[in-house]
Copies of this chain bind each other. A is one copy, B any other.
Amino acid sequence: MGVTWAIIYGERMTKTDDRRSRRREQTRARLIDAARTLMAERGFNEVGIAEITEAADLGTGTFYNYFSSREQMQAAVAEDSVEKVGDILDREVSSLEDPAEAFAGSLRHLVRHALSDRVWGGFLVQMGAAHPALVRILGPRARRDLLRGLESGRFTIDDLDLATTCTFGSLIASIQLAMDSEPREDRDQIFARAMLRMVGVPAGEAAEVAARPLPEIDLT
């Protein structure tokens, strides 16, 4: 009997908790969406807390129920934006039959998106430099693509974790370099070639794979 009650009580608690946590999740998402839109218009550091809550149609005080500081909110917006792009790439690019093309395609899209949407590019660089959140979010995806290439015999990789970490270290550094340099159409391809070679695809083949037409997807 005690056990049954515990289960029923537990279930009721869970439902109430679920509803409450769903509502919290929705309010948090509204704040993040509003912040992202304002940041995209004016820049990462140019948006005040009062503006965000107003755009989300919430009281200013609400903000601190969800974020302890402006910095924490900025980190949440960056993580959310990178996560969304990761999800789209998962659906649209990672399923390509050739693992080399899947790996290269995701990297090319990341470079292109970072360079066409500078606020998003800034999210990526900031996350990469400041804390391991980037590797936490995109790392497992890259690792899975690399493993597929390894198992199919297409890639030569000595250590999957090292290959994953080198990919992201290179990605962040390349985006920073590209942002500070003259625009160039083929940055995504040049980067993808270097990464394909890094995982053991011969140079000629890497150039061919990196030049294949990209699956067209909308990352905005």
Question: Using a CB–CB distance below 8 Å, which chain A residues touch chain B?
Answer: 129-130, 132, 156-159, 161-163, 165-166, 168-174, 176-177, 181, 187, 190-191, 193-195, 197-200, 202-203
Given contacts A130-B129, A198-B197, A198-B198, contact A165 B159 (CB under 8 A): no
Q: Which 3 A-B pairs have the closest CB atoms?
A: A169-B173, A169-B169, A198-B198
Interface of A is mostly: helix
A sample of 11 inter-chain contacts (CB < 8 A) reads: A132-B176, A156-B197, A156-B203, A157-B194, A158-B193, A161-B177, A165-B176, A194-B198, A194-B199, A197-B200, A198-B198
Nearest CB in chain B: distance from A210 CB, A: 9
Q: Return A99 CB to nearest CB of chain B, in Å.
A: 16
- Closest B residue to A199 by CB, please name it: B197
Q: When the two chains form the complex, which single residue of B162, B168, B177 contacts A165, counting CB atoms closer than 8 Å?
A: B177
Q: How far is A202 from B156 in the complex, measured between Cα atoms in Å?
A: 10
Point out which of A130, A165, A176, A200 has the most chain B C-beta atoms below 10 A from its C-beta: A165
Q: Which residues of B contact A176 (CB under 8 A)?
A: 132, 165
A216 to B96, CA, bound (A): 46
When the two chains form their complex, are residues A173 and B166 in contact, meaning their CB atoms are under 8 A apart?
Answer: yes
What distance in Å separates the Cβ of A186 from its nearest Cβ neighbour in chain B? 9
CA distance A170 to B158 in the complex (A): 15
Quick one: closest B residue to A178, CB to CB?
B162
Task: State whether A194 touches B129 (Cβ < 8 A).
Answer: no
Distance, CA A157 to CA B193, complexed state (A): 9
A197 to B194, CA, bound (A): 9
Q: Would A174 and B166 count as touching, CB distance under 8 A?
A: yes
Task: State whether B166 touches A170 (Cβ < 8 A).
Answer: yes
Q: Specify the chain B residue showing the minimal Cβ separation from A200.
A: B203
Q: Which residues of B contact A177 (CB under 8 A)?
A: 161-162, 165
